[in-house]
Structure 1
Amino acid sequence: MNHYTDVLKKYAVFSGRARRQEYWMFTLFQVAIAIVLMILDGVLGTYPLLVGLYFLGTFVPSLAVTVRRLHDLGKSGAWYFIAFVPFIGGIWLLVLTATAGQTQPNEYGPDPKAYAA
């Protein structure tokens, strides 16, 4: 839960770098919360109200952590738009977010793993 709250604390921080662990733990919590809210929406008959409001409220931090994750690879945040390329774009972004970051400092900041050690 720590990585999830860290990302929310950096609500609109698009600068710096994010480790794979920070990105994927945030994503895991996003999916888990979305599943719970979908079930709750189904029980209450309000689908997709709760899950829609949740995703609307967490869109900016989700975008920010993705941009910081791309920065960890030495890539511009504009690479996020690769996801909009039909068929292969989403897969390409998935591969990028799963790729190990640069171990040396880059133009976006020092290696975030260096701080964790």
Structure 2
Amino acid sequence: MLGEFEYLLISASSRLGDEAYGATIRIAIEEATGSACSVGALYTTLDRLEQKGLIETSMSEPTAQRGGRAKRLVRVTAKGAREASQFYRAVVRSSRGVAWEALPPGAR
């Protein structure tokens, strides 16, 4: 089963489509979670997901906007989409009947 961060990365990559690369994925994750996403964690996870066959990466042509640097483009594979879908369904099933409203201090 995917981990939470792996799921977030695959979801962001899928949503971004042709614009999915390190910087845009990082921004999407930070906007979705409200938390900082470290570059190291992002690229380590990209490597792991690629080794598992859940994503494929390729290098773009260098761009002037990036000072002549290429982008590491990300594409979610069919296997990655299936695993993300399974993770999502598991979270939904396990969350049924749970109210995640803030409880007053000391209440349980």
TM-score in terms of structure 1 length: 0.32
More helix by share: 1
More strand by share: 2
